[in-house]
A = this chain, B = another copy of it.
Amino acid sequence: MNAPFQPAAAVSLAPKIAAVLAELGDIPVLTEEKVVKKRSRDFFWYSPILNVELADKFADIVALPRNEADVIAIAAACARHRVPLTPRAGGTGNYGQAVPINRGVLIDMSGLDTIEWIKPGTIRVGAGAKLNEIDNETRKTGWELRMHPSTKRSATIGGFVAGGSGGVGSVMYGGLRELGNILAARIITLEETPRIIELRGDAAQKVNRAYGTTGLITALEMPLAPAWDWHDVIIAFDDYKACLEFGQDAARADGVIKKLLSPIAWPLPDYFGSLKPHCPDGKAILACMVAQPSLESFLALLNGRGEVTLNAPTREEPGATPLYEYTWNHTTLQMLKADRTITYLQCLFPHDRLISSILEMAALFPEEVIPHCEFIRFGGNLTASALPVVRYTTKERLYEIIAAHEAHGVMIANPHVITLEDGSRHKRADADQMGFKAEVDPHGLLNPGKMRSYVATQA
């Protein structure tokens, strides 16, 4: 892999920053180093490799736009003075998406949180709106977002689209990349006279998981799903295979409405804090969210194969901890709280030999790699992504484990790298995204270093 992007200009940024600051008028900014440093971080420390690599990466200032006009003013100033601009919001990512590799301005989009409208089945909302606040509003009319990351209670919709791929809900709808899961994105270009571009339908994929390198997302139009009365269910199984088999059966039951099916191997549930009483010693668990009207069918399908240790309405209010905060990358976090020596991987298993592939990989690294999967739909098939916990020793060993997965036909989206290319399952930047970047970021100033293969057209 290449070293992070380091243009020669990096050392002489101070006068440019001053010039930008002078042009921002009444737009709020943060300049105090301690505060700026704190805001320049995300959850990249899940990776021991990124934790070292990104330790000294900070912005010079943080700009806090209140609306789209402010975003345009900030973009124009950065373009004029050739200052790198890195967007962030909730900062809940794990790949250093929001970490400014090359200093410059960090633009915190959280202020753009207005809901423009809610229609039956769709919402148009500012990119900075928090996911839980969106759901709180849409639920009033019977709707909710189709999917959300396990960080729903602190992440924003713009951050999810720019830095995420799917999550709770993807077992029904697939990830954000599936057609129809992002209806439109409104972006601002990084030019001296910034343009506003509305990307509709498939075109909106140009900003999906591009870390903000392909334009500053100011608004999103997203599809909604019915807001079911969800129940958190935990089922304990004697072994992981039985857990996977029932999970797959439930995932494939098209008449059973669910939002989450997470098979998690022991000893991960041993780290589940307040949930521990529902996680019997030595058992694998399936963490589930099931729509209330489907609960009876869901349990009939189980037919005694496992023990139901929790079955209660999902609670997300302050003070409660929803089950989904023990799934996806929160599973890793639960163990990290107790054991900082572990890290994780991101796998996508082949759909046509799903369970055998998962078990094959688990058998290759007993004790060292602890299985944790997430059933999802992907490209029209049911499959599983996975965020197994890895007992970390060295970078070399981690890459051996990655290579072994790939050699066995398991795709890896490496979460220990900062570039889109290295983190992609295909080890390259999306061609559409790269072509589009040339249009919207001719000077290569948007979150520089993240799209490694991009060469600025007007450097």
In the complex the two chains form, what is the Cα distance from A257 to B380 in whole Å?
A: 13
Q: Dominant SS at the A interface? A: mixed
A344 interface residue per 8 A CB criterion: no
Shortest Cβ gap from A307 to chain B (Å):
19
B254 lies within 8 A of A173 (CB): yes
From 135 to 193 in chain A, residues with beta carbon under 8 angstroms from any chain B beta carbon are: 142, 146, 172-174, 178-181, 183
Q: Which residues of B contact A402 (CB under 8 A)?
A: none
From 87 to 132 in chain A, residues with beta carbon under 8 angstroms from any chain B beta carbon are: 119-122
From 332 to 365 in chain A, residues with beta carbon under 8 angstroms from any chain B beta carbon are: none
Measured as residues with beta carbon below 8 angstroms from the partner, the interface class of chain A is: 35 or more
B120 lies within 8 A of A255 (CB): no
B226 lies within 8 A of A293 (CB): no
Do A183 and B254 contact each other (CB < 8 Å), given the known contacts A121-B228, A201-B300, A226-B121?
no
A256 lies within 8 A of B297 (CB): no
A296 interface residue per 8 A CB criterion: yes
B121 lies within 8 A of A183 (CB): no
A56 interface residue per 8 A CB criterion: no
B201 lies within 8 A of A296 (CB): yes
Q: How many copies does the complex hold?
A: 2
A382 interface residue per 8 A CB criterion: yes
A424 interface residue per 8 A CB criterion: no
A229 interface residue per 8 A CB criterion: yes
In the complex the two chains form, what is the Cα distance from A121 to B292 in whole Å?
A: 9
A301 interface residue per 8 A CB criterion: yes
Do A253 and B122 contact each other (CB < 8 Å), given the known contacts A180-B294, A300-B179?
no
Shortest Cβ gap from A171 to chain B (Å):
10
In the complex the two chains form, what is the Cα distance from A193 to B229 in whole Å?
A: 40
A179 lies within 8 A of B253 (CB): yes
A300 lies within 8 A of B202 (CB): yes
From 369 to 395 in chain A, residues with beta carbon under 8 angstroms from any chain B beta carbon are: 377, 379-382
Q: Which A positions have Cβ atoms within 8 angstroms of B?
A: 119-122, 142, 146, 172-174, 178-181, 183, 200-202, 223-226, 228-229, 251-257, 291-294, 296-298, 300-301, 377, 379-382
